[in-house]
Chains A and B, each alone.
Chain A
Amino acid sequence: MEIIKYVNKINKIRSDFFFLKNKIYNNNFIYLDNASTTQKPLQVLNSVNAFYKSYCSNINRSSYYISELSYKKFELSRKRVKFFLNANYIEEILFTNGATDSINIISNYFAREFLKEGDNIIISSFEHHSNISPWQILAKEKKVFLRFINFNISGIFDLNIFKKCFDKKTKLVIISHISNVIGIENPVEEICKISHTNNSLVIIDGSQAVSHCLVDVKKIDADFYFFSSHKMYSSMGVGILYIKIKILEQIKNFKTGGGNISSLLFNKITYKVFPFKYEAGTQNISSVISIYNAIDYILNIGIDFIDYHEKKMVDYLISKLINELDIKILGNINNKKSIVTFIINNIHPHDLCSLFDRESIMVRTGFLCAQPTINRYNISSVVRVSFGVYNNFDEIDILVYSLKKIRKYLYV
């Protein structure tokens, strides 16, 4: 793409994010924590605003016009998600309260029935805590074993080691599409092929993938795929959970409450058909509706462009950091998507975060809710820069300049 067109495109994207116009300490916000949550374009904000201003009403409860309108828009979002993920059936798309809620649903309402004593689960050791702790609890309860795959420090998934982890009792494989620490994409298509050959189902955490690269659940052949809406430029409070229909049909029990019941007598309950059967209680309607706008926003920019742009950001940042003394970047530097995690000798990440903040630069530090991953590198805390579509090269230059300034100030 020509440079001028590229720069103009990024500037146009930035103009859609009101958030970027804010200032702190007289500097524009430089937001580099997109792996934690993304900012929302005006199109999404307007959608939420329009709901509350013009047709705020519950769905599947009443039959007046605006309730029907809410319901129609809600279901349009579901249809859009199905298209976005290239799912086969609309019933395969469920809305939850977030990615963590999705994992707990899979663990409590599917895996609890599916697993038997003595079974084992293969789980990547580079997972977010939310995709480890429910399995630890279930493993203890059901007396199943967790087999953690150890990555080498490059962070690149070793399929040969993976193949050797299976036996007849392996029932589930749990993996993130992209690690929230290392930022490297796992070969999820191959992982699913190998797992299915071994009669195991695959649960994929797509939280760090969905707004950064193409996700095709049919091509990947995932059995479960989940992520949070707030990590794809949409509102907080909603998760998307894809479950392959032949598996969904096996799930007998689910969360229950108002909205998913067709009829209730004191001695008998009849549930609605899916997907409504699986969405009890009042949904986060405005946020679900805004997902439609967020997906449209991403598709209008082009997921290929987002992937390309973020890769350029990552490569540019890495090229600057590797010239700096005493900086260690975690994981292979050639395979990263949107995330660069590093440590600096003699500057604790928390100190760096505070000093960056003074320069209006927002990064994430700590163990990133992924302590096993951090421990793999024998460290307790890191700095993570994670890009979104609205970040640009100037922001990276400011970050690097601030880093030099901080180091000079601290005599490091």
Chain B
Amino acid sequence: MFNIFNIYNNLIYEYCNNSKNFGKLLIYTHLLHANNPLCGDNIKIYLNIINNKIEDIKFFGDGCAISKASSSLMVELLHNKDLFYSNVMVKYFFSKICCYKNDNTDFSILETNSKKKILLFDNVKKFPMRVKCVTLSWNAISSLFK
């Protein structure tokens, strides 16, 4: 039976400890806060957006392994991407992880490899209490597109 230990085996070593995506930006145009007081996850997302493109992005703060791994993946997938592509990526993420209904967004523009990486978190759906951890940073970055 799939259990939560399997999630940690798949995710933690790939992204949680990836220091390349972690840290603060000295120059940034946007600073977003992602906070879950129930579990103590407290993450800031630094973005440097120039001409509608995310030139640089990092995440910083304290959080559980799942929230950090998800934040790290988000940084990797959105780095050097324009806002239109990023918006589609965020929608794709929520359609897979939270099963949100697709509003006819065309996901074919997304890189196949990137879509596969999001599916790494697919099994977290089996543990509803941890879905908030996966979506923490993605919820914060959604505010850019509203």
Chain A residues near B (Cβ < 8 Å):
25, 348-351, 353-355, 357-358, 365-367, 371, 374, 379-382, 409-410
Q: B8 and A381: CB pair below 8 A?
A: no
Residues of A within 8 A of B38 (CB): 366
Task: Kindly name the residue among A350, A367, A379, A409 whose own CB sees the greatest number of chain B CB atoms within 10 A.
Answer: A350
Q: How many A-B residue pairs have CB under 8 A?
A: 56
Task: Kindly name the residue among A351, A358, A366, A371 whose own CB sees the greatest number of chain B CB atoms within 10 A.
Answer: A351
Contact of B63 among A348, A366, A379, A409 (CB under 8 A): A348
Contact of B40 among A355, A357, A365, A410 (CB under 8 A): A365
Nearest chain A CB to B74 CB, angstrom units: 18
Q: A365 and B39: CB pair below 8 A?
A: yes
Q: A349 and B8: CB pair below 8 A?
A: no
Give CA–CA (A31, B109) in the complex, Å.
49
Give CA–CA (A168, B44) in the complex, Å.
45
Chain B residues near A (Cβ < 8 Å):
3-5, 8-9, 12, 37-42, 62-66, 127, 129-130, 133
Residues of A within 8 A of B9 (CB): 409
Q: B130 and A354: CB pair below 8 A?
A: yes
Give CA–CA (A278, B82) in the complex, Å.
62
Task: Kindly name the residue among A366, A374, A381 whose own CB sees the greatest number of chain B CB atoms within 10 A.
Answer: A381
Known: A349-B39, A366-B40. A355 touches B4 (CB 8 A): yes
Q: A358 and B40: CB pair below 8 A?
A: no
Q: A354 and B129: CB pair below 8 A?
A: yes
Residues of A within 8 A of B130 (CB): 354
Known: A349-B40, A354-B129, A367-B37. A410 touches B64 (CB 8 A): no
User: Would you give 25 A-B contacts (Cβ < 8 Å), ordered by A?
Assistant: A25-B3, A348-B40, A348-B62, A348-B63, A348-B64, A349-B39, A349-B64, A350-B63, A350-B64, A351-B8, A353-B39, A354-B4, A354-B129, A358-B5, A365-B40, A366-B38, A366-B40, A367-B37, A380-B40, A380-B42, A380-B62, A381-B39, A381-B40, A381-B41, A409-B9
Contact of A350 among B3, B5, B39 (CB under 8 A): B39
Give CA–CA (A371, B62) in the complex, Å.
15
Nearest chain A CB to B130 CB, angstrom units: 6
Give CA–CA (A357, B38) in the complex, Å.
16
Q: A348 and B3: CB pair below 8 A?
A: no
A355-B8, A358-B3, A366-B40 given; 14 more Cβ-contact pairs under 8 Å:
A348-B40, A348-B62, A348-B65, A350-B63, A351-B8, A354-B4, A354-B127, A354-B129, A358-B4, A366-B37, A366-B39, A379-B40, A380-B42, A381-B39
Known: A358-B3, A367-B37, A409-B8. A351 touches B42 (CB 8 A): no
Contact of B62 among A353, A357, A381 (CB under 8 A): A381
Residues of B within 8 A of A381 (CB): 39-41, 62
Task: Kindly name the residue among B5, B40, B42, B63 whose own CB sees the greatest number of chain A CB atoms within 10 A.
Answer: B40
Give CA–CA (A225, B64) in the complex, Å.
37
Nearest chain B CB to A346 CB, angstrom units: 10
Give CA–CA (A348, B39) in the complex, Å.
9
Contact of A355 among B5, B39, B133 (CB under 8 A): B5
Residues of B within 8 A of A410 (CB): 8, 12
Give CA–CA (A374, B41) in the complex, Å.
14
- What are the 5 A-B residue pairs with the smallest beta carbon separation, nearest first? A381-B40, A350-B64, A350-B39, A348-B64, A380-B40
Residues of A within 8 A of B62 (CB): 348, 380-381
Residues of A within 8 A of B65 (CB): 348, 351
Task: Kindly name the residue among A354, A357, A371 whose own CB sees the greatest number of chain B CB atoms within 10 A.
Answer: A354
Chain A residue, CB-CB nearest to B68: A348
Residues of A within 8 A of B129 (CB): 354
Residues of B within 8 A of A357 (CB): 4
Chain A residue, CB-CB nearest to B65: A351
Give CA–CA (A371, B39) in the complex, Å.
11
Chain A residue, CB-CB nearest to B1: A25
Residues of B within 8 A of A382 (CB): 40
Residues of A within 8 A of B5 (CB): 355, 358, 409
Give CA–CA (A46, B64) in the complex, Å.
41
Residues of B within 8 A of A354 (CB): 4, 127, 129-130
Give CA–CA (A379, B62) in the complex, Å.
9
Nearest chain A CB to B132 CB, angstrom units: 10
Give CA–CA (A162, B89) in the complex, Å.
56
Give CA–CA (A103, B9) in the complex, Å.
46
Give CA–CA (A215, B9) in the complex, Å.
48
Q: B127 and A350: CB pair below 8 A?
A: no
Give CA–CA (A181, B9) in the complex, Å.
31
Give CA–CA (A231, B49) in the complex, Å.
51
Task: Kindly name the residue among B39, B62, B129 whose own CB sees the greatest number of chain A CB atoms within 10 A.
Answer: B39
Residues of B within 8 A of A358 (CB): 3-5
Give CA–CA (A366, B63) in the complex, Å.
11
Nearest chain B CB to A65 CB, angstrom units: 48
Give CA–CA (A365, B42) in the complex, Å.
14
Nearest chain B CB to A129 CB, angstrom units: 10
Nearest chain B CB to A123 CB, angstrom units: 21
Give CA–CA (A354, B130) in the complex, Å.
8
